[in-house]
């Protein structure tokens, strides 16, 4: 293995701690600089990455020892930071979404191509053993030819736990743009790109009340639909029924199920890296749990960046690609438009489905603490 890729982390909010732990454990990445609008927060984050320093954004982008920018800023700043990093000659890997609009996301993708730089994006949960084992089962024909799927995410609203939840209910928020990337990325890995969408949306509880923190009891009005139902037509011919909701108190529905001509498959939560895959074939009296057969064992947030670094060194395409992230965003906005118009819309973009991740217990120089027995 060659020298590690030097990382400049931009945005030291809550999610940064998970990335810091992962990047501190893999050997092909090294954090050398951290910046945040809150300078103390940047200093605190830099203290978690020995050998790194706290900087301003301009200093980080100008630094000669920064190879890739890890963009963990709020979504509204994703495109701006990514374009600035590319202009400075840095590779970019960012949290989801790639940008808040498809126009901005397309600009990021094109800028990276013109500069000959890599652009990658979350979610990388799809690279863990949960989704990858399910995908291998589908590709191995365990359930025959896939014909349909269901995907369900239902919670009762972020105001039940978040002290300042209003931004989840403003344009750019809502259940589909908030949580949809995990589900759509998994569905694309399992069933391929989406060619058309149809949908409907509603906001059955437009007035919300904050339940925790110093603002408990404060009410606010939602500006977006909080329950989205959609049908996705995949290029493979499979149809997915999708429900994304901030209006479901409780559900026993599987996060994702895939049904085929010779069986059914329960897929674990796509917001996690692992979990049990269950299969049932004709003649079975119960579901069978599949042993992990693909994916990075014991993976965590940041594995997409580590895999991108490995791909750069090997001269191949990386799996958590900008094209996949763009297609996910395009599907989301197309579905929201279709829901608003109560119609069916074609999805203009396509992406290559990345190769299956072989079962890997010691990725990127890190021996997993969750070894397969």
CA distance 42 to 13: 9
Q: What pLDDT does residue 355 have?
A: 98
Sign of CA dihedral 153, 155, 158, 161: negative
Closest CA to 10 of 75, 51, 57: 57
CA distance 231 to 87: 39
CA distance 5 to 67: 6
**Residue 350, C-beta contacts closer than 8 angstroms, at least 6 positions apart:** 193, 235, 327
Q: What pLDDT does residue 365 have?
A: 83
Query: pLDDT for 57-88, tens place per residue?
Result: 999 999 999 999 999 999 989 999 999 999 99
**Residue 368, C-beta contacts closer than 8 angstroms, at least 6 positions apart:** 297, 298, 361, 362
Q: Does the structure show a pLDDT above 50 at 182?
A: yes
CA distance 33 to 54: 6
Average pLDDT over residues 255-276: 98
CA distance 81 to 89: 13
Q: Does the structure show a pLDDT above 60 at 250?
A: yes
- Cβ-contact 12, 36 below 8 angstroms: yes
The model's confidence at residue 14, banded by pLDDT at 50, 70 and 90, is confident
Query: pLDDT for 202-211, tens place per residue?
Result: 999 999 999 9
Q: Does the structure show a pLDDT above 90 at 171?
A: no
The model's confidence at residue 370, banded by pLDDT at 50, 70 and 90, is very low
Q: Does the structure show a pLDDT above 70 at 345?
A: yes
Say if residue 211 is preceded by a cis peptide, omega within 30 of 0. Answer: no
Q: For residue 116, count other CB atoms closer than 10 A to its CB.
A: 9
Q: What pLDDT does residue 147 have?
A: 98
Q: Does the structure show a pLDDT above 80 at 50?
A: yes
Query: Which element (helix H / strand E) includes 104?
Result: helix 102-115
CA distance 45 to 24: 12
Query: pLDDT for 270-310, tens place per residue?
Result: 999 999 999 999 999 999 999 999 999 999 999 999 999 99
CA distance 96 to 328: 10
Average pLDDT over residues 174-189: 96
Closest CA to 120 of 90, 155, 143, 100: 90
CA distance 267 to 275: 8
Q: For residue 186, count other CB atoms closer than 10 A to its CB.
A: 28
Q: Does the structure show a pLDDT above 70 at 372?
A: no
Q: What pLDDT does residue 1 have?
A: 52
Average pLDDT over residues 131-155: 98
Query: Which element (helix H / strand E) includes 335?
Result: helix 322-341
The reply to whether 126-290 shares the fold of 5-123+300-320+349-365 is: no
Tell how strand 219-221 and strand 207-209 pair up. antiparallel
Query: pLDDT for 96-109, tens place per residue?
Result: 999 999 999 999 99
CA distance 8 to 71: 9
Average pLDDT over residues 186-198: 98
Q: What pLDDT does residue 139 have?
A: 98
Whole-number mean pLDDT of the chain?
95
Q: What pLDDT does residue 280 have?
A: 98
CATH of 126-290, one of 2.60.120.620, 3.40.140.10, 3.30.360.10, 3.40.47.10: 3.30.360.10
Say if residue 123 is preceded by a cis peptide, omega within 30 of 0. Answer: yes
Q: Does the structure show a pLDDT above 60 at 373?
A: no
Average pLDDT over residues 325-340: 97
CA distance 140 to 216: 51
Q: Does the structure show a pLDDT above 80 at 333?
A: yes
Q: What pLDDT does residue 91 have?
A: 98
Q: Does the structure show a pLDDT above 70 at 366?
A: no
pTM attached to this predicted model: 0.94
CA distance 72 to 77: 9
Fold of the domain spanning 5-123+300-320+349-365: Rossmann fold (3.40.50)
Q: For residue 167, count other CB atoms closer than 10 A to its CB.
A: 14
- Cβ-contact 180, 186 below 8 angstroms: no
Which sequence spans correspond to the domains of the chain? 5-123+300-320+349-365, 126-290
């Amino acid at each position: 293995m060659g020298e590690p890729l030097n990382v400049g982390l931009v945005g030291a909010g809550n999610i940064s701690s998970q990335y810091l732990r992962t990047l501190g454990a893999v050997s092909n990445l090294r954090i050398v600089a951290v910046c945040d609008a809150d300078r103390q927060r940047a200093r605190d984050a830099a203290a978690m990455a020995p050998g790194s320093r706290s900087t301003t954004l301009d200093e980080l982008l100008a630094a000669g020892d920064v190879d890739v920018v890890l963009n963990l800023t709020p979504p509204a700043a994703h495109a701006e930071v990514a374009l600035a990093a590319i202009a400075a000659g840095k590779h970019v890997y960012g949290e989801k979404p790639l940008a808040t609009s498809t126009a901005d996301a397309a600009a990021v993708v094109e800028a990276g191509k013109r500069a000959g730089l890599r652009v990658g994006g979350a979610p990388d949960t799809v690279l863990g053993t949960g989704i990858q084992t399910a995908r291998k089962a589908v590709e191995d024909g365990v359930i025959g030819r896939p014909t349909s799927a269901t995907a369900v995410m239902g919670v009762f609203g972020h105001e039940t736990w978040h002290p300042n939840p209003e931004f989840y209910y403003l344009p750019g928020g809502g259940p589909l743009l908030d949580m949809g990337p995990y589900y759509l990325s998994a569905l694309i890995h399992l069933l391929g790109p989406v060619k058309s969408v149809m949908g409907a949306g509603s906001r059955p509880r437009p007035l919300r009340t904050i339940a925790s923190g110093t603002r408990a009891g404060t009410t606010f009005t939602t500006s977006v639909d909080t329950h989205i139902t959609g049908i996705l037509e995949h290029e493979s011919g499979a149809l997915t029924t999708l429900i994304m909701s901030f209006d479901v108190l409780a559900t026993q529905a599987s996060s994702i199920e895939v049904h085929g001509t010779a069986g059914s498959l329960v897929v674990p939560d796509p917001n996690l890296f692992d979990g049990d895959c269950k299969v049932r074939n004709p003649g079975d009296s119960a579901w069978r749990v599949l042993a992990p057969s693909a994916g990075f064992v014991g993976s965590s947030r940041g594995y997409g960046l580590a895999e991108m670094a490995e791909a750069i060194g090997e001269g191949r395409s990386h799996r958590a690609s900008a094209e996949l992230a763009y297609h996910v965003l395009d599907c989301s906005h197309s579905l929201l438009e279709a829901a608003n118009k109560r119609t069916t819309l074609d999805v203009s973009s396509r992406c290559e489905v990345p190769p299956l991740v072989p079962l890997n217990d010691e990725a990127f120089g890190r021996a997993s603490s969750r070894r397969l027995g």
